[in-house]
Amino acid sequence: MSTTEVTLALAVFLASAVEMVEALTIVLATGAIRGWRSAIEGSVAGVVLLAVLVGLAGVPLVRYVPIATLRVVIGGLLLVLGLSWLRKAILRASGHRAPHDEDQIYADTIARLRDEGGTGSPGVSGRDALGFVVSFKAVLLEGMEVVLIVLSLGASAHRLGLAAASAAVAVILVGFVGVLVARQLSAIPENILKMAVGIMLTSFGVFWVGEGTGLHWPGSDLAVPVLIAGFVGVTAIAVAGMRALLRVAPSQVTAALGEREGVGR
Amino acid sequence: MRGHAQRAVVAFGRFWWDFLIGDTPELFLGVLFVVGAALVLRHDRAVGLVAMVVLTVVFLLGSTYRGRSTSAPPASVEGRAR
């Protein structure tokens, strides 16, 4: 495997793991309140639909779109997604934004499901429509970004199979660990994972935009780890700088954090 | 049937709007700028590559700083997060 392929597989794996943790929190809450059968069936239906989307969109992308155009467009998409994740991770790591709280999301989902229909009363078939829909939507919505990442990275490197396999391994692994640790998903250092994925997606985005526009990188694939190292440095400086800003005006930011998002992603 | 299709199109459009623009339009514009700069400078490889990286870093830091400076508004301003 080349450097690009290893980095690609790692980026897809981490991105899928992060999104899977977020989806799993809702699925676990749904299972606990509305019954496990519907929660699991909803999740499986969501995963199957996402896999179909990868197949339907990915194959034509790889076969029929000119590679240079594909790389510019996909590089741009990766940059939008990567910069967005990185920005958010920096704001959280520096204390400007509340961390993603899986425990809070779990509690909120439990409360919402109780409000919407008692403690769960599966019908004769043992199925619960609300449980199915909530799990299905959680997996589908969180998984859409994974589909985009799989398609983007997979298509631009012409390694759609590798990207899809990495995502599948992450889904299975996080699902397995999630079932073992049950509600302890909050112990997973999600912001660090999100920061790592943001750095990787941004690096791939810059790399593919360069390759697609004809600005070929010196060292070809080896430029990717160099870009990653560079963005790690920029991120560290940005976190330190934003922390320093927080020290300058702590009361302002504390007030702002108290006023907004308890749970935002 | 028509209403269903309409809702699906609206939901599809909303998804892409949230995904590409959402609460950080400056990042979307920044990426357009980076891609544009790469296309314009594609005949000068060294300048083009350096410009791409520098612009990306500038837009990241600028947007992150904007996230700090606009911390005060209530949660609804953030919209749906990516």
Tens digits of residue pLDDT in A232-243: 999 999 999 998
Tallying the residues shown for chain B, one arrives at 82
Query: In angstroms, rounded to a whole number, what is the distance separating the alpha carbons of residues A221 and A7?
Result: 10
- Alpha carbon separation from A99 to A52, A169, B77 (Å, rounded): 33, 26, 18
Best residue of A71, A152, A213 to probe chain B, by most B CBs closer than 10 Å: A213
Q: What is the pLDDT averaged over residues B47-68?
A: 93
Chain A residues closer than 8 Å to B78 by CB: 260-261, 264
| Residue A105, pLDDT score | 73
> Rounded to an integer, what distance in angstroms lies between the CA atom of residue A51 and that of residue A167?
10
Whether B19 contacts B11, CB under 8 Å: no
Q: Can you tell me the distance from the alpha carbon of A112 to that of A12, in angstroms, rounded to the nearest whole number?
A: 32
- In Å, how far is B13's CA from the nearest CA of chain A? 14
Distances in Å between the Cα of A84 and the Cα atoms of A53, A134, A135, A202, B23 are: 23, 26, 26, 9, 10
Per-domain boundaries in chain A: 3-259
* Tokens linked to A125: 């078939």
> In the predicted model, what is the mean pLDDT of residues A216-239?
91
User: What does the block give as tokens for A95?
Assistant: 């204390």
Q: Please report which confidence band the pLDDT of residue A110 belongs to, taking 50, 70 and 90 as the band edges.
A: confident
Q: Helical H runs in B1-82?
A: 2-20, 25-40, 45-69
Q: A218 by DSSP, 3-state: which?
A: coil
Q: Do A131 and A42 contact (CB within 8 A), yes or no?
A: yes
Query: CB-based burial of residue A197 (10 Å sphere; 0-12 exposed, 13-18 middle, 19+ buried)?
Result: buried
Q: Which domain holds residue B28?
A: 2-78
Q: Return the structure tokens found at A155.
A: 């298509």
Residues in chain A within 8 Å Cβ distance of B16: none
The Cα–Cα gap between A259 and B4 comes to 38
Confidence of residue A219 (pLDDT cuts 50, 70, 90): confident
Q: In which band, very low, low, confident or very high, does the pLDDT at A228 lie, cut at 50, 70 and 90?
A: very high
| R_g of chain B computed on alpha carbons | 17
The pLDDT tens digits for A16-65 are: 888 888 788 888 888 877 778 888 888 889 888 888 888 887 777 777 77
Partners of A57 on chain B (C-beta within 8 Å) are: none
Chain-centroid distance, C-alpha A260? 23
Q: Which residue has the higher pLDDT, A170 or A156?
A: A170
Q: pLDDT exceeding 70 applies to what percent of chain B?
A: 80
pLDDT value at position A63? 74
| Chain A residues interacting with chain B (CB cutoff of 8 angstroms) | 72, 75-76, 79-81, 83-88, 90-91, 96-97, 144-145, 148, 202, 205-206, 209-210, 213-217, 227, 230, 234, 238, 242, 245, 252-253, 255-257, 259-261, 264-265
Residue, of A78 and B81, whose pLDDT is higher? A78
Residue B79 is predicted with a pLDDT of 38
Which of A143, A131, A148 lies closest to A42, judged by CA?
A: A131
**How many folded domains does chain B comprise?**
1
Judged by phi (left if over 0) then psi (alpha if -120 to 50, else beta), residue A182 lies in: left
pLDDT score of B72 more than 70? no
Residue that the structure tokens 């699906």 belong to = B8
CA A250 to CA A94: how far, in whole Å?
A: 12
State how far the Cα of A145 lies from the Cα of A232, in Å rounded to an integer. 22
| Contact state of B27 with A83 under an 8 Å Cβ cutoff | yes
Q: Which of B29, B13, B15, B41 minimizes the C-alpha distance to A80? A: B29
- B67/A97 Cβ within 8 A: yes
Distances (CA, A) of B77 to A113, A179, A260, B24: 26, 35, 9, 11
Instruction: Identify which of A63, A82, A89 has the alpha carbon closest to the alpha carbon of residue A155.
Output: A63
pLDDT tens-digit map of B24-52:
899 999 999 999 999 999 889 899 999 99
